[in-house]
């Protein structure tokens, strides 16, 4: 078969390719400069890669992976197998040249020049990291007609706008196995992200194997943790993709897991009847903690007045720091409400003694003790924005995460850079909250309406998408991260004026599809979950419903943090649904078109959706006879069917519709009471009702 394809393709190479236009390209992040010319580079079985210069060996891994991905897409059966050294195939059609080995750190040169001519492709880059970016762009540049695959003749010069383009994954609340981490690192590399922030410790679990402090995994991990070898392996895997890893151990709050193993360094004051006499005096205060199973903000907090706290942390850092190559260590520092500090007389005394007026000052005192522990390992301290108080070292990197209104209208990002701190933005990039891609895409790390000096601007390192896992399992996390994170990657890499939403949506569709080849499950996980909900019945109707529903946004799905425990099932309809529900977007466009121009063509599209939903409701009722998990969805489906029927009558104008009835049915579509999802077509339906 292979031989035949080759012959066929050679014949076809004589045919003419139509000229590719810029708007046809599905590049993301969009490059800084792109020049398209006439002509094409035709892909054949003999396509080979050659590497020259003085790159890091990661380019051999990257180029081999590039070949396999391209071969998987095109079925070319390339002759070339593994690339393991310099100048192996001097005559190769793809020539990669790197001046020097890239460093996995901020500000190293990530630029590249990609030059496609009709018979040769060259990637020139200062570093292999830049060359890897060039290979990803080349993969995105792939075009096809009916018979063959080709690259358009083009010149692309490219470099990032921000140096910190991050993704955080919370491996504490729900443990995320190594393969989840690795495939997401591949996804990051595909959209040129370069910082993986690994949230490893929180109230719900300690996830790092500790050889000197085994109690942390024995008592506080439920057996789910990363071994040190696995961590080192992931660090290497990331470095091979140009990605640095920032580990996080969240202290002094979010400490339930640490304190489950080491209750003696907790802040909780316990009144114990110590009895009387000598024996009684020897009884110690007994504090007990347990691994948290709910979501939320909890009181367990390390005791900043206890020297043992610092001994333990210092020893932990001594063990954990060497596992990571990067320069930054994230110590959390968020959401410490200080309740246990307030109620502990010993800690109150300590505050007085050290002239620490507030809990914030006490936390700063605590955090400052960690700086030298990290410095010893050449690490800079990074923390969530709460660490930024007046005495905090200027070396610390401030991770801005809270919405402005929470901190009295002040922007912590602008404050941080004005205060002399380097900073990274995550407020607006909380992808776990399942907002639309547009929300995230519109957020720029460079604040608008604030005057900053060039020096201050330079302290804005970039941004980071944060994937918290209260409501994501290893099976669903990819669909919470992708494809929206690709849009954030574009915001952080591309020119600030690349903001067109319809272009984004169009490109994202292809980018999302291509990300799948990396093993990401954001598309295909849906099918398996639907099969479970439908009890293995053919589930077109269920798919249709999922395409107009979105999981409840923000923090509304898990009210009080107790509806879902960390072991609750994440296999239900809300877990199937995703932000940017596909049919809701298409229906929205159809309604806008119809509202603007009431042609028959536009009407037909709107009507076809309404009819589809009427049929869907019928089918779902049938399916539900043998599928208990469909029952909770029927009210949603019915609401959509009911309004659809009335809207059909309204559009048909064959019957006078009572607007109050219509409004009542419409409002039923605005419910958040069913199956933890909402109908994402509500606003479009409203337009039709009012139109």
- Applying CB under 8 A, the residues found at the interface with a copy of itself are 1-2, 4-5, 8, 61, 68, 71-77, 81-82, 144-149, 177-179, 222-223, 227, 229, 233, 293, 475, 509-510, 513, 516-517, 519, 523-525, 527-528, 531-532, 535-536, 563, 565-572, 624-629, 631-632, 674-676
| Residue among 4 and 455 whose Cβ is closer to a copy of itself | 4
As measured in angstroms, the least distance from the Cβ of 373 to a copy of itself is 28
As measured in angstroms, the least distance from the Cβ of 670 to a copy of itself is 17
| Residue among 72 and 322 whose Cβ is closer to a copy of itself | 72
How far, CA to CA in Å, does 35 sit from each of 142, 296, 356? Answer: 16, 50, 60
| Residue among 67 and 188 whose Cβ is closer to a copy of itself | 67
Bridge partners for 62 per DSSP: none
Q: Which two tokens stand for residue 59?
A: 């380019």
Q: At CB < 8 A and 24+ separation, what contacts does 622-628 make?
A: 623/534, 623/537, 623/539, 623/541, 623/542, 626/535, 626/537, 627/533, 627/534, 627/535, 627/537, 628/535
| Residue among 456 and 678 whose Cβ is closer to a copy of itself | 678
CB atoms within 10 A of CB 354: 12
| Residue among 427 and 469 whose Cβ is closer to a copy of itself | 469
CA–CA distance, 553 with 535 (Å, rounded to integer): 27
**Pairing mode, strands 397-400 and 380-384:** parallel
| Residue among 499 and 510 whose Cβ is closer to a copy of itself | 510
What is the end-to-end Cα distance of the chain in Å, rounded?
Answer: 57
CA–CA distance, 384 with 387 (Å, rounded to integer): 6
Burial 32-57 (b: 16+ CB within 10 A, else e): bebebeebbbbbbbebbbbbebebbe
Q: Which two tokens stand for residue 179?
A: 């393969």
As measured in angstroms, the least distance from the Cβ of 195 to a copy of itself is 25
Cβ pair 480, 173 in contact under 8 A: no
CA–CA distance, 470 with 472 (Å, rounded to integer): 6
Cβ pair 402, 347 in contact under 8 A: no
As measured in angstroms, the least distance from the Cβ of 501 to a copy of itself is 21
CA atoms within 13 A on the CB side of 67: 23
CA–CA distance, 137 with 112 (Å, rounded to integer): 10
Bridge partners for 347 per DSSP: none
As measured in angstroms, the least distance from the Cβ of 599 to a copy of itself is 25
| Residue among 287 and 558 whose Cβ is closer to a copy of itself | 558
| Residue among 417 and 486 whose Cβ is closer to a copy of itself | 486
As measured in angstroms, the least distance from the Cβ of 453 to a copy of itself is 46
| Residue among 99 and 629 whose Cβ is closer to a copy of itself | 629
| Residue among 82 and 618 whose Cβ is closer to a copy of itself | 82
| Residue among 105 and 563 whose Cβ is closer to a copy of itself | 563
| Residue among 13 and 163 whose Cβ is closer to a copy of itself | 13
As measured in angstroms, the least distance from the Cβ of 457 to a copy of itself is 39
| Residue among 415 and 571 whose Cβ is closer to a copy of itself | 571
Residue in the structure block whose two tokens are 């995994």: 217
DSSP assignment of 575-596, as one string?
HH--SS-HHHHHHHHHHHHHHH
Cβ pair 399, 423 in contact under 8 A: yes
DSSP assignment of 415-469, as one string?
HHHHTT-EEEE-TT--GGG---HHHHHT--SS-TT----HHHHHTEEEEEEEE--
As measured in angstroms, the least distance from the Cβ of 521 to a copy of itself is 8
* H/E run at residue 247: strand 244-251
| Residue among 223 and 408 whose Cβ is closer to a copy of itself | 223
| Residue among 44 and 305 whose Cβ is closer to a copy of itself | 44
Sorted by sequence, the CB contacts under 8 Å of residue 340 that are 6+ apart come out as 266, 267, 268, 269, 299, 300, 301, 347
As measured in angstroms, the least distance from the Cβ of 34 to a copy of itself is 22
Orientation angle between helical segments 58-74 and 128-141, nearest 10 degrees:
10
For the chain, the residue count is 691
As measured in angstroms, the least distance from the Cβ of 582 to a copy of itself is 12
Q: Give the E-state strand segments of 263-406 in sequence order.
A: 328-332, 380-384, 397-400
As measured in angstroms, the least distance from the Cβ of 516 to a copy of itself is 5
CA atoms within 13 A on the CB side of 599: 8
As measured in angstroms, the least distance from the Cβ of 81 to a copy of itself is 5
| Residue among 174 and 423 whose Cβ is closer to a copy of itself | 174
As measured in angstroms, the least distance from the Cβ of 446 to a copy of itself is 34
As measured in angstroms, the least distance from the Cβ of 570 to a copy of itself is 8
| Residue among 162 and 206 whose Cβ is closer to a copy of itself | 206
Cβ pair 254, 261 in contact under 8 A: no
The Cα angle at residue 597 between residues 596 and 600, in degrees rounded to 5: 145
As measured in angstroms, the least distance from the Cβ of 187 to a copy of itself is 14
**Pairing mode, strands 143-144 and 121-127:** unpaired
As measured in angstroms, the least distance from the Cβ of 619 to a copy of itself is 15
As measured in angstroms, the least distance from the Cβ of 609 to a copy of itself is 16
CA–CA distance, 425 with 471 (Å, rounded to integer): 23
């Amino acid at each position: 078969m292979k031989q035949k394809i080759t012959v066929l393709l050679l014949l076809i190479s004589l045919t003419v390719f139509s000229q590719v236009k810029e708007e046809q390209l599905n590049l993301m992040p969009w490059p800084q400069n792109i020049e398209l010319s006439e002509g094409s580079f035709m892909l054949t079985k003999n396509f080979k890669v050659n590497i020259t210069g003085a790159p890091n060996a990661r380019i051999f891994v990257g180029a081999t992976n590039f070949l396999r991905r391209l071969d998987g897409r095109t079925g070319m059966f390339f002759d070339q197998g593994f690339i393991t050294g310099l100048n192996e195939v001097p005559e190769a059609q793809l020539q990669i040249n790197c001046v020097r080995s890239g460093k996995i750190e901020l500000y190293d040169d990530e630029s590249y020049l990609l030059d496609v001519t009709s018979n040769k492709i060259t990637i020139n880059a200062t570093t292999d990291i830049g060359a890897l970016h060039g290979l990803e762009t080349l993969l995105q540049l792939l075009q096809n007609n009916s018979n063959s695959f080709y690259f358009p003749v083009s010149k692309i010069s490219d470099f990032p706008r921000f140096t910190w383009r991050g993704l955080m994954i919370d491996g504490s609340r729900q443990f995320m196995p190594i393969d989840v981490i690795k495939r997401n690192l591949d996804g990051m590399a595909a959209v040129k992200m370069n910082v993986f922030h690994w949230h490893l410790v929180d109230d719900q679990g300690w996830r790092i194997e500790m050889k000197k402090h085994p109690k942390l995994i024995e008592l506080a991990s439920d057996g789910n943790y990363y071994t040190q070898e696995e961590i080192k392996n992931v660090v290497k895997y990331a470095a091979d993709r140009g990605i640095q890893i920032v580990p996080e151990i969240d202290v002094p709050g979010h400490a339930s897991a640490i304190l489950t193993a080491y209750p003696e360094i907790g802040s909780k004051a316990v009144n114990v009847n110590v009895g009387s006499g000598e024996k009684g005096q020897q009884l110690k205060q007994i504090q007990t903690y347990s691994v948290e199973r709910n979501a939320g903000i909890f009181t367990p907090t390390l005791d900043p007045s206890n020297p043992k706290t610092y001994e333990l942390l210092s020893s932990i850092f001594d063990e954990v720091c060497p596992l990571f190559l990067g320069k930054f260590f994230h110590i959390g520092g968020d959401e410490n409400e200080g309740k246990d500090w307030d109620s502990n007389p010993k800690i109150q005394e300590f505050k007085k003694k050290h002239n620490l007026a507030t809990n914030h000052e006490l936390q700063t005192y605590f955090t400052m003790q960690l700086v030298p522990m990290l410095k010893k390992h050449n690490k800079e301290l990074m923390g969530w924005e709460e660490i930024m108080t007046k005495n905090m070292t200027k070396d610390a990197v401030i991770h801005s995460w809270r919405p402005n209104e929470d901190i009295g209208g002040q922007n912590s990002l602008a404050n941080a850079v004005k205060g002399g701190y380097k900073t990274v933005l995550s407020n607006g990039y909380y992808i776990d909250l399942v907002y639309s891609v547009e929300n995230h895409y519109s957020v720029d790390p460079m604040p608008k309406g604030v005057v900053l000096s060039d020096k201050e601007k330079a302290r804005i390192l970039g941004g980071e998408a944060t994937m918290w896992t209260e409501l994501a399992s290893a099976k669903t996390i990819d669909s919470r991260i992708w494809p929206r994170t690709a849009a954030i990657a574009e915001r952080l890499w591309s020119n600030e004026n690349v903001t067109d939403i319809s272009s984004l949506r169009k490109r994202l569709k292809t980018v999302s599809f291509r990300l799948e080849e990396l093993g990401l499950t954001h598309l295909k996980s849906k099918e398996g979950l639907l099969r479970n909900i439908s009890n293995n019945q053919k589930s077109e109707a269920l798919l249709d419903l999922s395409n107009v529903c979105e999981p409840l946004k923000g923090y509304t799905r898990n009210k009080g943090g107790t509806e879902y425990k960390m072991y609750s099932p994440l296999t239900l309809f809300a877990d199937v649904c995703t932000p940017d529900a596909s049919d809701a977007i298409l229906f929205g466009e159809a309604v806008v078109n119809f509202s603007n121009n009431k042609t028959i063509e536009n009407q037909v599209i709107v009507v076809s959706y309404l009819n589809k939903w009427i049929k869907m409701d019928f089918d779902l009722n049938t399916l539900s006879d043998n599928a208990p998990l469909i029952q909770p969805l029927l009210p949603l489906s019915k609401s959509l069917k009911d309004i659809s029927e009335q809207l059909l009558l309204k559009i048909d104008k064959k019957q006078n519709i009572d607007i109050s009835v219509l409004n009542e049915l419409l409002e039923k579509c605005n419910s958040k009471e069913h199956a933890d999802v909402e109908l994402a077509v509500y606003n479009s339906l409203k337009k039709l009702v009012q139109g």
